[in-house]
A and B are shown apart, each in its own frame.
Chain A
Amino acid sequence: MTTAISVSGLVKTFGRTRALDGLDLTVRTGEVHGFLGPNGSGKSTTIRVLLGLLRADAGETRLLGGDPWADATSLHRRLAYVPGDVSLWPNLSGGEVIDLLGRLRGGLDTRRRADLLERFDLDPTKKGRTYSKGNRQKVALVAALASNVELLILDEPTSGLDPLMEAVFQDCVTEERERGRTVLLSSHILAEVESLCDRVSIIRLGRTVETGTLSELRHLTRTSIAAELAAAPNGIADHPGVHDLKVDGSQVRFDVDTKELDSVLKRLTSVGVRSLTSQPPTLEELFLRHYEADMAAENGRHGGARSDQNNTGVAK
């Protein structure tokens, strides 16, 4: 089997809210797959459908070769889940929660448990409510990472972790991948996604808008160019892939789609280049572009209906 998760045309509505609107997602066995999208775009909803907690309205969903709704309990033996909002029982200690969840899942690697507690610097004797937010998150992480499963489903697993713990988490996920485990990682932390994920899917308004390896996606980003030319430029403005062109005599400044970079540079050198600076493409830019498009679509299409997305909060 080469695909751990395959979702196509997934639809889920809550009353009048269309949370998932024909979402597609393919996670190959053994990869770390990043799952990105603005707030309220449907990441957690997708994950809940994959866990059989929500019933899909339409679409095909396969998880580890089974049906997430019908075969929930047998599939759950083979996966571990870290929820986005970790809520612990007030009168159970963290250690008890880790053991309980491990046992309910069908076994826990006690050596790995001890190792993880040490690496995450987590005190297992505290009771639920006395943990800080980050430490609550660690309880769920240790419980998931210490179990022997094929698939890890992580919904914003590092929200609230300090940078040191973020590094520990990244080490752990890398180890998991080396052991051949599959990871679905929903995250808002782009650096984390860049350093961990083999492939990513970006969703917005319940639909997949981009999916591929990071280098494929990087190809979709733009490089910023500022150059001083020997003469006034010509033909740059109509060149495919050039955006936001500003010309000031022989000075030019523009963004260019990375896949057109080569031909645009040829055009510049044909005029003669005196100096040139370029800014490499960042994934962040790609995300922001998609996220902003989301806000624009939002304001146009939905009006106030999905107002919780208005705080997408990416200022530029």
Chain B
Amino acid sequence: MTATLAPPVTAPATRQHEGFAGTGTLLRLALRRDRIVASIWILLFVIMAASSSSASQDLYTTLESRVRAANAVNDTPATLALYGRVFDPTSLGAVSLIKLGAMGAALVALVAIFTVVRHTRAEEEAGRLELLGAAVVGRYASLTAALLLATGTSLVLALLTGLSLMGTGLPAAGALAFGLSWAGAGIAFAAVGALAAQVTESARTARGLAAAVLAAAYLLRAAGDATGTDTSTWLSWVSPIGWAQQVRPFAGDRWWVLMYLVAFAVLVAAGAYALAARRDHGAGLLAQKPGRATASPSLSSPLALAVRLQRGSVVGWLVGMAIGGLVLGSIASQVGEFLDTDQARDMIMKLGGERGIVDAFLSAEMGILAVVVSAFGISSAMRLRSEETALRVEPILATRIGRFRWAASHVVVALAGTTLLMIAVGVFGGFAHGAASGDMGAMGRVVVAALVQLPSVWVLTGITVLVFGAAPGLVMAGWGALVAFLLLGQLGPIFELPQWAMDISPFTHTPKLPGAEFTATPLVWLTVVAAALVAAGLAAFRRRDVG
């Protein structure tokens, strides 16, 4: 692998630049490692934008149909919260790409976070950076290389997306603005990832922290978009994802808003550099405190160990989900005050809710939060693989603990964790909704609406466990499944996919509560599927090599 590295970079003369020595080498190494993954995800986003644009153009052939679709989105708080506002209902581009604006920007941001953390903190944690750090590599080199990589790939993505949108017949300026709004979000959150990587000692925590900031940004703009009457409120203007939307591609192309994103990225990255200058290699901001000299009596089983290893992240997620529930629960009651035009009704019927705007909003939000909780389930189950590759499972399996018990303990934590999180969503969301609407009786309905999401969430945990057991090298496929289901649900209707295709996603089967009728059958089936996936994964793990 080293053979592909360029000869050592000559050290710059001035002291100030020494910190950046080796950046070029590291960047080439990162490109070498990421070339396939990066190409795939860039391609995926480009195809997603282009195909969604051309499919929508087939759908909205007349100006009238376009305006009707746009108004349906703009008049429904649930869709406003989910996607944002169509700033120009007459614009073909704005209507076609509404579902990919904020959501696509958030996905690009997520990829940027993972990219930066992977090449900074993850490398440092694995001790590989130390190997390189001893060569002519400055203190800022890996940080700079990771930021350059994320920025570069974001810009390439922007350009290709713009070109492909032009190819589908949309105006050039809007197409470029759309691509750049994605790239802007990517660059802004690359900086957030860089900062998180300086603060925490583990890559896992860094990713979690940055993703939490991203979720907060998305929620802020959701609140801002859903509660504004004709336009977004200030809440959308304190969120980088909100800024990406406010570029308003195909609806004014406000290039200057991109400067917000760039300025944000520069500020946050400056913070990351300031921390990098002060901290020790391998350390975070907080020094490790000494631990106990002996283990507490309860730390005596693989389950106790799994709980101990994951409890920090479960608590963090619980706080996040409780806040998410509170915010959405309190917005929900305001949503009811908004108008109910024919188009909005139409949209609501499509969303599956029957009893009213509030219920449709709540059920849509529960769907979103279920996707977020699924992410926890996947990352929690992926602990199995990271413990294995870190060689920490061998000493455990060399005791009388069998593979089944060890693997099952992490699966139990993943399943129990997702359950706890959905309960938190339901209880806090229901409480806020009940308090705001003056009807505490509504709380129970919201809790049930949260809990019916669980079987779908477990299916994703099950998929991750199956891949871990059967094809451990592909364990990232758990994330792939989540993205695929998400896209299927969002884009399926645009492409008018047949029902069997939509049925692949477990989320299609979840009853749209509150509002729709409760049916137990799909929930039972989803639970059975999840259990079968877990069982198959554990059985496969018992038969394969460890390591």
Asked if A127 and B288 sit within 8 Å, CB to CB, the answer is: yes
Q: Does A72 contact B (CB under 8 A)?
A: yes
Shortest distance between the CB of A104 and any CB in chain B (Å)? 4
Shortest distance between the CB of B314 and any CB in chain A (Å)? 14
Q: Does A172 contact B (CB under 8 A)?
A: no
Shortest distance between the CB of A261 and any CB in chain B (Å)? 45
For B292, the chain A residues whose CB sits under 8 A away are 93, 95-96, 125
Question: A100 with B299: in contact, given A85-B391, A126-B290 (CB under 8 Å)?
Answer: yes
Closest residue on chain B to residue A77 by CB atoms: B400
Asked if A88 and B400 sit within 8 Å, CB to CB, the answer is: no
Interface membership of chain B positions 515-547, coded 1 if the CB is closer than 8 angstroms to chain A and 0 otherwise: 000000000000000000000000000011111
Interface membership of chain A positions 72-107, coded 1 if the CB is closer than 8 angstroms to chain B and 0 otherwise: 111011011101010111111101111111011110
Which B285-300 residues have C-beta < 8 A from chain A? 288-295, 299-300
Asked if B547 and A126 sit within 8 Å, CB to CB, the answer is: no
Closest residue on chain B to residue A55 by CB atoms: B545
The complex places the Cα of A104 from the Cα of B545 at a distance, in Å, of: 21
B300 in complex: contacting residue of A72, A79, A103, CB < 8 Å? A103
Closest residue on chain B to residue A104 by CB atoms: B399
Asked if B394 and A81 sit within 8 Å, CB to CB, the answer is: yes
Closest residue on chain A to residue B402 by CB atoms: A73
The complex places the Cα of A72 from the Cα of B395 at a distance, in Å, of: 13
The complex places the Cα of A186 from the Cα of B305 at a distance, in Å, of: 29
B398 in complex: contacting residue of A55, A81, A89, A91, CB < 8 Å? A81
The complex places the Cα of A129 from the Cα of B305 at a distance, in Å, of: 17
The complex places the Cα of A100 from the Cα of B305 at a distance, in Å, of: 8
Closest residue on chain B to residue A130 by CB atoms: B288
Closest residue on chain A to residue B405 by CB atoms: A73
B201 in complex: contacting residue of A53, A74, A90, A143, CB < 8 Å? A90
For B288, the chain A residues whose CB sits under 8 A away are 126-127, 129-130
Asked if A95 and B400 sit within 8 Å, CB to CB, the answer is: no
Asked if B399 and A53 sit within 8 Å, CB to CB, the answer is: no
The complex places the Cα of A124 from the Cα of B289 at a distance, in Å, of: 13
Q: Does B13 contact A (CB under 8 A)?
A: no
Question: A125 with B290: in contact, given A53-B397, A76-B398, A96-B295 (CB under 8 Å)?
Answer: yes
The complex places the Cα of A240 from the Cα of B399 at a distance, in Å, of: 52
Question: What total of A-B pairs shows CB separation below 8 Å?
Answer: 120
Asked if B395 and A99 sit within 8 Å, CB to CB, the answer is: no
Asked if A93 and B390 sit within 8 Å, CB to CB, the answer is: no
For A127, the chain B residues whose CB sits under 8 A away are 288-291
Q: Does B501 contact A (CB under 8 A)?
A: no
For B390, the chain A residues whose CB sits under 8 A away are 87
Asked if B401 and A96 sit within 8 Å, CB to CB, the answer is: no
Q: Does B312 contact A (CB under 8 A)?
A: yes
Which A214-230 residues have C-beta < 8 A from chain B? none
Q: Does A51 contact B (CB under 8 A)?
A: yes
B291 in complex: contacting residue of A76, A95, A101, A103, CB < 8 Å? A95
Asked if B399 and A129 sit within 8 Å, CB to CB, the answer is: no
Shortest distance between the CB of B1 and any CB in chain A (Å)? 12
Q: Does A140 contact B (CB under 8 A)?
A: yes
The complex places the Cα of A104 from the Cα of B304 at a distance, in Å, of: 11
Which B391-422 residues have C-beta < 8 A from chain A? 391-392, 394-403
Asked if B546 and A93 sit within 8 Å, CB to CB, the answer is: no
The complex places the Cα of A127 from the Cα of B293 at a distance, in Å, of: 10
For A129, the chain B residues whose CB sits under 8 A away are 201, 282, 288
Which of A95, A99, A104 is most buried by chain B, counting CB atoms within 10 A of its CB?
Answer: A104
Asked if B395 and A81 sit within 8 Å, CB to CB, the answer is: yes
A125 in complex: contacting residue of B291, B299, B545, CB < 8 Å? B291
Shortest distance between the CB of A60 and any CB in chain B (Å)? 19
Q: Does A54 contact B (CB under 8 A)?
A: yes
Asked if A76 and B400 sit within 8 Å, CB to CB, the answer is: yes
Asked if B293 and A124 sit within 8 Å, CB to CB, the answer is: yes
For A18, the chain B residues whose CB sits under 8 A away are none
Asked if A87 and B300 sit within 8 Å, CB to CB, the answer is: no
For A95, the chain B residues whose CB sits under 8 A away are 291-295
Asked if A105 and B291 sit within 8 Å, CB to CB, the answer is: no
Shortest distance between the CB of B39 and any CB in chain A (Å)? 25
The complex places the Cα of A153 from the Cα of B288 at a distance, in Å, of: 32
Interface membership of chain B positions 62-98, coded 1 if the CB is closer than 8 angstroms to chain A and 0 otherwise: 0000000000000000000000000000000000000
The complex places the Cα of A74 from the Cα of B401 at a distance, in Å, of: 9
Q: Does B6 contact A (CB under 8 A)?
A: no
Q: Does A306 contact B (CB under 8 A)?
A: no
For B398, the chain A residues whose CB sits under 8 A away are 51, 53, 76, 79-81, 83, 153
Q: Does A48 contact B (CB under 8 A)?
A: yes
Shortest distance between the CB of B444 and any CB in chain A (Å)? 38
Asked if A53 and B295 sit within 8 Å, CB to CB, the answer is: no
Asked if B395 and A54 sit within 8 Å, CB to CB, the answer is: no
Q: Does B308 contact A (CB under 8 A)?
A: yes
The complex places the Cα of A115 from the Cα of B288 at a distance, in Å, of: 26
The complex places the Cα of A140 from the Cα of B398 at a distance, in Å, of: 12
Shortest distance between the CB of A139 and any CB in chain B (Å)? 10
Question: A99 with B299: in contact, given A53-B546, A54-B547, A89-B309 (CB under 8 Å)?
Answer: yes
Shortest distance between the CB of B324 and any CB in chain A (Å)? 26
A104 in complex: contacting residue of B400, B543, B547, CB < 8 Å? B400
The complex places the Cα of A130 from the Cα of B399 at a distance, in Å, of: 25
Shortest distance between the CB of B402 and any CB in chain A (Å)? 4
Asked if A105 and B400 sit within 8 Å, CB to CB, the answer is: yes
Which A225-277 residues have C-beta < 8 A from chain B? none
Q: Does B252 contact A (CB under 8 A)?
A: no
Asked if A140 and B395 sit within 8 Å, CB to CB, the answer is: yes
Q: Does B25 contact A (CB under 8 A)?
A: no
For B246, the chain A residues whose CB sits under 8 A away are none
For A74, the chain B residues whose CB sits under 8 A away are 400
For B543, the chain A residues whose CB sits under 8 A away are 55
Interface membership of chain A positions 37-71, coded 1 if the CB is closer than 8 angstroms to chain B and 0 otherwise: 00000000000100111110000000000000000
Which of B202, B290, B292, B400 is most buried by chain A, counting CB atoms within 10 A of its CB?
Answer: B400
For B201, the chain A residues whose CB sits under 8 A away are 90, 129
For B133, the chain A residues whose CB sits under 8 A away are none
> Which 4 A-B residue pairings sit nearest by Cβ, starting from the closest?
A93-B291, A99-B295, A81-B398, A104-B399
A-B pairs with beta carbons under 8 Å apart, 14 shown: A48-B546, A53-B547, A54-B547, A55-B543, A73-B402, A76-B397, A83-B394, A83-B398, A92-B291, A93-B291, A95-B295, A100-B305, A106-B400, A129-B201
A55-B543, A72-B397 given; name 4 further pairs at CB < 8 Å: A48-B546, A77-B399, A83-B398, A127-B290
Interface set of A (CB-CB < 8 Å, partner B): 48, 51-55, 72-74, 76-77, 79-81, 83, 85, 87-93, 95-101, 103-106, 124-127, 129-130, 140, 143, 153
